[in-house]
Amino acid sequence: QVDDARLATDRAVPPQRQGERYLQLPPLDPEFLGLAQRIVDGVEGDAARARAVERYLLTNGRYSDTPPAPDPTSRLSPVENFALGGMAGHCEYFASAMVLLARVDGLPARLVNGFVGGHENTIGGFRELARSDAHAWVEVHYERAGWVRYDPTPADQRMAALEPPSLGTRLRELGSALELWWFQRVVGFDRADQIRALRSAWLA
């Protein structure tokens, strides 16, 4: 992650290859356009404007796995309804809203899907990822720094307290560690592994 001090002297520009796609916008309601302009009103510099959009969503939004159902009679898109309404939703709402708000403000942005967090398997010595670790965030492209990550989603309160692992958790860790060992040592035991094993046996 590039720090804000370095980004302060950089400028947000589209990447050279197919860069115009990261500034494309669907038809948007004038109220949404006005919101985008108000968020960055008086803010100097591209990096500061990107941070202002991120901070607005973090400060005014609320994480929810069960956002309100879209109003079928509304002329607005779900993302516009989210940004102009109560701003309660999951990461895809926040990331999508930031992408649109940033692009309105002339910042080339893209939505990225991946995983964040996970669980450390202390028995197997690896990190496990589950569907609940799926996450969406935003990247803005800068001339020198390239793609820089922003995460406008407020913290999920489910992650606020980390409890010590229970017996059931430890048993699941053991099961995952055994499964990984089986795939690495048995299923994935290819010819190169066989040759190495024979060589080690011969040297022994």
Which residues partner with 139 through β-bridges?
110, 149
Query: In angstroms, rounded to a whole number, what is the distance separating the alpha carbons of residues 86 and 90?
Result: 13
Query: In angstroms, rounded to a whole number, what is the distance separating the alpha carbons of residues 86 and 47?
Result: 26
DSSP H or E run through 10: none
What tokens does 96 get? 């999508």
pLDDT in tens, 105-140: 999 999 999 877 555 656 555 455 556 667 899 999
Query: Measured between alpha carbons, how far is residue 76 from residues 23, 31, 104, 154, 176 in Å?
Result: 20, 10, 16, 23, 45
pLDDT in tens, 38-74: 999 999 999 999 999 999 999 999 998 888 887 888 8
Query: In angstroms, rounded to a whole number, what is the distance separating the alpha carbons of residues 67 and 86?
Result: 10
Query: Which residues, other chains included, contact 60 with Cβ-Cβ below 8 Å and sequence gap of 6+?
Result: 87
Of 94 and 19, the structure prediction assigns the larger pLDDT to 94
59 burial via Cβ count (<10 Å: 0-12, 13-18, 19+): exposed
Structure pTM?
0.73
